[in-house]
Homo-oligomer: A and B are copies of this chain.
Amino acid sequence: MKNLISLIDKKLDEYMQIVYPEDIFKAMKYTLMLPGKRLRPVMCIETARLLGCDTEKVLPSACAIEMLHVQSLIHDDLPCMDNDDFRRGKPSNHKVFGEANAVLAGDALLTFAPQLIIEKSKGFSDSQIVKIIHEYTKFAGAYGLIAGQVVDIESEGGKLVKSAEETLDFIHLNKTAVLFRLAVRIGAIAAEADEKTLELFDNFAKKFGLAFQIYDDIMDEVSTFEELGKSVGKDKASGKLTYVSLYGLESAKTKFYKLMEECYGIIEKYNSAVYSEILNMLNDRVK
């Protein structure tokens, strides 16, 4: 996994060249290159590899998913959204480059990601490229990631169209699970996997995504700024709807362990050291 992260970091650095007008490319690159776990591109590459597709072939698509993820972080941190001054232990994008550039850097990443898939992918058929970009557009927009963010913001303002339980699941299936789903789905499409295999990984990613969000909610409750590299305790202070606030810490943990158990069960037969490492890492931190 460490090697995969290094490879992804190297490629992100290579793909993101600084040209005129430099300020926008610098803003895009700043948040992109902050050290991270790169879970989404790792899961994309590992899924592709398990199903028979070369790492080289899927690398541009994997990096595109990380760019989409970073785009959502930059815009989420804006003063008009979550108003977070720190991200991955460093000042967030708008604190360094100003709000206007942060909005534009996010916009630019959102279209640079599919541009990268088209320009840098080698060995895919046009039909595969269209499928990959179709997945990207569906999951990145108002039917995916943005739907989750909108309902999240509305629920903070006390506006609930559905029950609290349904709303919370909707938010995190869309806001969090959606990028893990996109990662494994693109990995499966890259490997030309059959529909059944794609659905198996998709189901894994849904459960993993929810577990990851519960993990995140728990960490916000029990960690320090130094451990997470971002503000903590904000959820509680703002009365935000989270798995911990809705179900309590112990029930949230029970939910988390149940989902993790199901994840281990689904992925077991692939004997993946990388997936084991990811699941174990989350499990160990919650303990």
Contact = CB atoms under 8 A, between A and B. Distances in A.
Contacts of A207: none
B142 A114 contact: no
A111 B140 contact: yes
A114 B133 contact: yes
> In the complex, which range does the number of interface residues on chain A fall in?
35 or more
A140 B113 CA distance: 12
Interface string A150-165: 1101100000010000
B115 A146 contact: no
Contacts of A181: none
B103 A80 contact: yes
Nearest to A140: B111
Given A80-B103, A81-B103, A130-B126, A108 B21 contact: no
Contact of A24 (B24, B107, B150): B150
Nearest to A159: B23
A21 B151 contact: yes
DSSP majority for the A interface? helix
A104 interface: yes
Interface string A100-138: 110110111011101100110000011101100110111
Contacts of A146: 24, 104, 107-108
B108 A80 contact: no
A24 B112 contact: no
A45 B147 CA distance: 31
Nearest to A110: B110
A270 interface: no
Contact of A23 (B21, B80, B111, B150): B150
A161 B201 CA distance: 49
Contacts of A129: 126, 130
A167 to B, nearest CB: 10
B23 A108 contact: no
28 contacts: A21-B150, A21-B151, A23-B150, A23-B154, A71-B107, A75-B103, A75-B104, A80-B98, A80-B99, A80-B103, A101-B150, A101-B153, A106-B107, A108-B141, A110-B141, A111-B137, A111-B140, A114-B114, A114-B137, A115-B134, A118-B133, A118-B134, A119-B134, A125-B126, A126-B126, A126-B127, A126-B129, A126-B130
Interface of A: 20-21, 23-25, 28, 71, 75, 78, 80-81, 98-101, 103-104, 106-108, 110-112, 114-115, 118-119, 125-127, 129-130, 133-134, 136-138, 140-142, 146-147, 149-151, 153-154, 161
